[in-house]
Amino acid sequence: MNPQQANYKQNHSTVQEFILMGYQEYPALLFTVFLATYTVILLGNGLIVVVTMLDPALHTPMYFFLRSLSGLEMCYTSVTLPKMMANLVSRNHSISLPTCATQMFFLIFLGGTECFLLAAMAYDRYLAICLPLHYMTIMSHRVRVGMVAGSFVISLPMQLVQIGIIFSLPFCKSNEIDHFFCDIPPVLSLACADLHSNEMAVYFESTTFVIIPFLLILASYIQITKNILRMPSATGRQKTFSTCSSHLTVVILFYVSAAIVYLCPKTPESVKVNKLLSLLYTIIIPLCNPLIYTLRNREVKTAFRRLLGRKRSLEVAKRING
């Protein structure tokens, strides 16, 4: 702790808990919307996990990454949505400092992991389209497990350090967080200390976890686009692009919203915008993932029908044997 922070602690009472303000209007309506959204997120992403695990035809690298992404999205959403719904039906909107720190850690840890996982998925598509003859050799089971595990490992130590630095600050300006959950920008705004080094750390980490993976994704899709344009068949070009468009849609929504929240300069007007954008990358994208990847993916829909057909056959066999 530097002398300035120590002086603040001596002359001010430090906040022991925060109040999550969120939106105070229409709590019953918002609770219903959030509950329905959370249910669809868990069911939709859970369905992708189950179908891609049970159907042998989907035991490929692409669906391994999709299964990992769906599992990650369920965890990511569970960090914020249950507390948001509890605040809507309770008069007590408080959250203790340790709970706030825990929520923030898992939010940025899982968010950082998703950034690198989306980059790994883009690299997988690059290999499948640009180097099809070597695809299965390069993207072996060991490699893809290592890429998913690496996405978690890269994110963990930096986020632990970030959380430790933020919650070592004295919070004595106010205890009201103008947000739905404990995110870095609104919590930092309540600290009564020199925040220059903290803001630089946030920019550095955001660059590492947002800009670098995005540039890797961009490089992959530049090569993919070049390869698609060289295809002689229009049908082949359309089919190949359709396998990438779902992933590209998720990437654009996720990275643009995260970049605006964490990298753009903070102004009084940006607070409300950031609140809305935070809903985009914590709720809307996990909600859209199963819709984007299943409604536009013939193989997943076929596998789901096979799974339902297998279930009906088992039920009929049980009735006959019973």
CATH number at residue 237: 1.20.1070.10
- The answer to whether residue 7 is domain-embedded is no
Going by pLDDT thresholds of 50, 70 and 90, the confidence category of residue 321 is low
Report how many domains make up the chain.
Answer: 1
- The answer to whether residue 8 is domain-embedded is no
Average pLDDT over the chain reads 82
- The answer to whether residue 3 is domain-embedded is no
- The answer to whether residue 11 is domain-embedded is no
**Alpha-carbon distance values, 13 to 10, 94, 175 (Å):** 8, 18, 11
Please give the Cα distance from 318 to 322 (Å, whole number): 6
- What pTM value is reported for the model? 0.84
- The answer to whether residue 9 is domain-embedded is no
Phi/psi class of residue 22: alpha, beta or left (left: φ > 0; alpha: ψ in -120 to 50)? left
Q: Mind listing the pLDDT tens digit for each residue in 14-23? A: 677 888 887 7
For residue 80, the enclosing domain spans 16-321
Please give the Cα distance from 287 to 182 (Å, whole number): 21
- The answer to whether residue 1 is domain-embedded is no
Going by pLDDT thresholds of 50, 70 and 90, the confidence category of residue 273 is confident
Sign of torsion over alpha carbons 82, 102, 165, 109: negative
